[in-house]
Chains A and B, each alone.
Chain A
């Protein structure tokens, strides 16, 4: 299944009769909205049509912008006929021209519905379709209080009660109120798939919860299903059976729910790649910037340090050469001066090298380099390491400087008595923990140190996690995916 595959568009014509029961429209069409939202294989194009441009709904809310009943319907249209009520919220009833509008809709339905169209009636909407003769020879259902009226309107129809919905070929009809949502979920499963229907289902669960909340008066609208042998004993057995099925099925259903949720919420293959490209672009830019800044620093240090001292040494030696015959003592002093300058130049070069790539790190690797660091530190640092090979040099260097920075932070801010450094390599992941028993409260956002480490590690897909509650302890964990090379392969 690729993006290239054409999206299937399904025209949905929602017919709003006078005194529309708003829940009949809102619930089922909300299901379609959700379905449009979470997948793009099938798109439901919803239009609302009616006998008038504006109409008053069951709850007294007037809806406007209703399109006129169209002259022709697309061949694959889904026609949804909403139910209506006899009495508005304020107790008022049918208006003078309501009957005329009902008749307009019935006539339009009769004239417009062709084979290939799918007709969906919600609640009492079935009566309008029945009057148009659309259920003749079909099974159908409606709100249980309306079943008689439906049977009277459609003598040729087989009216079934105690059903949430009835599907008979291309005619679908639902029982009262929220049953329309169930019917719509059923259609989603057909048009899209069961996964999508399941994902949309929480809407239906909310609706069911609403009924529970409103109470028994309301739930009576949907009568309890009748079972054969409706005695207390069979009910108990049935109840136990349902409970056991529920208990047994729950884990599997939860797992399925998790899979569905992940398939919907987690980025798909392409989205994941896009994210990855974006992340790589960012970390590469940062790595290059950091590298360039580092090279500038080295250049400056060499220019102002060792280079300048070598120039001075050359001049001093030249001066010594000029006076060596005339004033040997002064020449000797100049030569000694040049020697001291060379010692200083070497010291500066050593410090510079230590900052670029510490010799112990090059010689012995991460664990010994940190051990050497610990020996130079005044704080107490204990090290545990199980590395039996060496990470790639860039990772090793990034990890080393990250630990340096963390240890420097500890000595600057934490007032810790002891710091523990723990280096492990498991499952292709280098994990370094730096924990101190200082006063905590370290925030990555506050200083540039921690975010600098984060950026440095990000170039290797590494991450940093910090836990530092006020009062301590502070635990920083770094993870960098990498392989270790065997310790024997260090020769160059």
Chain B
């Protein structure tokens, strides 16, 4: 799997490169600004681009804009955006940016390299990796107006993990329950929230996120 990294801080760029290489991923390019990212994704056609939100020259949301531009340039390009903080606003913009895997994670998530590499692979495969903090805030908002009142506590846990983009197998592993139990929970959730069930993991995630207003 070939990866392009856009991260302006040398230590993080270097650390990410080493970590991904250690997990057997190939680094096609590691750049430190948006313009070079665009050039790299067009030239190298990577399987996934990992982009920091803050990049020169503005050090604001340059990374988000570069990621969106990269997806316009290379339709369907999987992009994983990393940030020191996460905002639902940016999550929505990324989700609305067309087809292809999308990830939006706090930088802290790289501390757990296993989980992080799993997220990279999921996005590269066209899936979704939403940070638990984004999902927690989405759920808090929907709990406030009583939308999720019908769900049991366990169903809410399953819903949160599903919204992060995890497969039934991953959810089962995380909650230490069987995959069949997860399937039962998801069926119940879709019924209660009146959502169209889907076997496709990613379509399911997007339906849940859309439902939650993400």
Chain A positions within 8 Å of B, measured between CB atoms, are 339, 342-343, 346-347, 350, 353-354, 359-360, 362-364, 368, 371-372, 375-380, 490-492
Contact = CB atoms under 8 A, between A and B. Distances in A.
Interface of A is mostly: helix
B33 to A, nearest CB: 12
Interface string B79-106: 0000011011110100000000000001
A343 B84 CA distance: 11
A353 B145 CA distance: 28
A492 B58 contact: yes
Interface of B is mostly: helix
Given A372-B88, A379-B144, 12 more contacts: A343-B111, A347-B108, A350-B84, A359-B87, A363-B61, A364-B60, A364-B89, A375-B89, A375-B137, A376-B88, A380-B145, A492-B58
A377 B145 CA distance: 10
B60 A376 contact: no
Contacts, number: 60
Contacts of B88: 372, 375-376
Contacts of B107: 346
Nearest to A368: B89
27 contacts: A339-B111, A342-B108, A343-B108, A343-B111, A346-B108, A350-B84, A350-B85, A359-B84, A360-B90, A363-B61, A364-B89, A371-B89, A372-B87, A372-B88, A375-B92, A375-B137, A375-B213, A376-B88, A376-B137, A376-B140, A377-B141, A377-B144, A378-B140, A379-B144, A490-B60, A491-B57, A492-B58
B63 to A, nearest CB: 10
B151 to A, nearest CB: 16
A363 B137 contact: no
A234 B140 CA distance: 87
B115 interface: no
A410 B81 CA distance: 34
Contacts of A378: 140-145
Contacts of A364: 60-61, 89
What 7 A-B pairs have minimum CB-CB distances, sorted nearest first?
Answer: A378-B144, A363-B60, A363-B61, A375-B88, A372-B89, A343-B108, A359-B85
Given A339-B111, A354-B85, A368-B89, A376 B58 contact: no
A368 B92 CA distance: 12
Nearest to A339: B111
Contacts of A492: 57-59
Interface in B176-208: none
Contacts of B141: 375-378
Contact of B58 (A368, A379, A380, A491): A491
Contacts of B106: 346
Contacts of A343: 108, 111
A451 B34 CA distance: 44
B144 A360 contact: no
Nearest to A371: B89
Contacts of B108: 342-343, 346-347
Contacts of B84: 346, 350, 359
A491 B60 CA distance: 9
Given A350-B84, A378-B145, A492-B59, A360 B140 contact: no
B201 to A, nearest CB: 25
